[in-house]
């Protein structure tokens, strides 16, 4: 891994662990095993490096979600696979953590990839739901936008509940509840 990649990866990890305010240039340099000169050779400063790390994280999250949402199966099965994908539940979402970081929220450049990724996720879920409704797999009376937001909210809220409890069970409980509701409504409008 080259120096630039080590800097981005280290910043991703630190942002996830500590948030933007708690991630100092010195901590990034130590984690990456590089000197100050190397950091400033590749990036103009902490904000520039954080943006690269946030954008990388956003790409990884979209790719992770697309593995299941774009995979085989019915709409219900793809949503189920997405919700049950192997996750580090107790660590929470890398981008979700940044939504509460005041420095990220206040900086439009840093906040943009966070917001765009959550918008993309809701849109991608909506596409899967529409496909399921068109094939008779999902209840056509379900509001697509609301359901897509609820599914995304289950993931983010499940992370928070799990972290607060110190157990991944609240996450999986929320997921099971969403899937049970979706399956019940799917049975009314088609077979999942």
For residues 177 and 169, what is the distance between their CA atoms, to the nearest angstrom?
A: 12
- On the question of pLDDT at 30 being above 80, the answer is yes
Q: What is the pLDDT of residue 100?
A: 87
Q: Average pLDDT of 168-188?
A: 88
How sure is the predictor about 187, in pLDDT bands with cuts at 50, 70 and 90? low
Q: What CA dihedral angle connects 32, 163, 95 and 17, to 10 degrees?
A: -20
| Domain-wise residue ranges, the chain | 58-189
Token pair of 181, please? 């509701």
**What is the reported pTM?**
0.90
Q: What is the pLDDT of residue 191?
A: 47
How sure is the predictor about 192, in pLDDT bands with cuts at 50, 70 and 90? very low
- On the question of pLDDT at 179 being above 50, the answer is yes
Element (H, E) at 152: helix 144-165
Q: Report the percentage of the chain scoring pLDDT > 70.
A: 96
Q: What is the pLDDT of residue 184?
A: 82
Q: Report whether CATH 1.10.357.10 matches the domain 58-189.
A: yes
Q: Average pLDDT of 6-27?
A: 94
Burial bucket for residue 10 (CB in 10 Å: 0-12, 13-18, 19+)? buried
């Amino acid at each position: 891994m080259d120096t630039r990649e080590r800097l981005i990866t280290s910043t991703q990890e630190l942002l996830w662990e500590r948030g933007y305010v708690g991630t100092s240039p010195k901590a990034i340099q130590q984690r990456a095993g590089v000197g100050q000169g190397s950091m400033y050779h590749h990036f103009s400063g902490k904000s520039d490096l954080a943006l690269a790390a946030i954008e990388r994280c956003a790409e990884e999250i979209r790719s992770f979600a697309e593995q299941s949402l774009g995979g085989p199966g019915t709409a219900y099965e793809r949503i189920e696979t997405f919700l049950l994908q192997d996750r580090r539940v107790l660590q929470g979402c890398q981008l979700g953590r940044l939504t509460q970081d005041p420095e990220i929220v206040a900086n439009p450049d840093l906040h943009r990839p966070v917001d765009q990724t959550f918008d993309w996720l809701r849109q991608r879920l909506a596409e899967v739901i529409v496909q399921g409704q068109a094939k008779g797999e999902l209840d056509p009376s379900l509001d697509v936008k609301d359901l897509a937001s609820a599914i995304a909210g289950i993931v983010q809220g499940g992370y928070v509940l799990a972290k607060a409890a110190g157990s991944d069970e609240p996450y999986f409980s929320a997921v099971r509840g969403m899937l049970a509701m979706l399956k019940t409504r799917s049975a009314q409008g088609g077979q999942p």
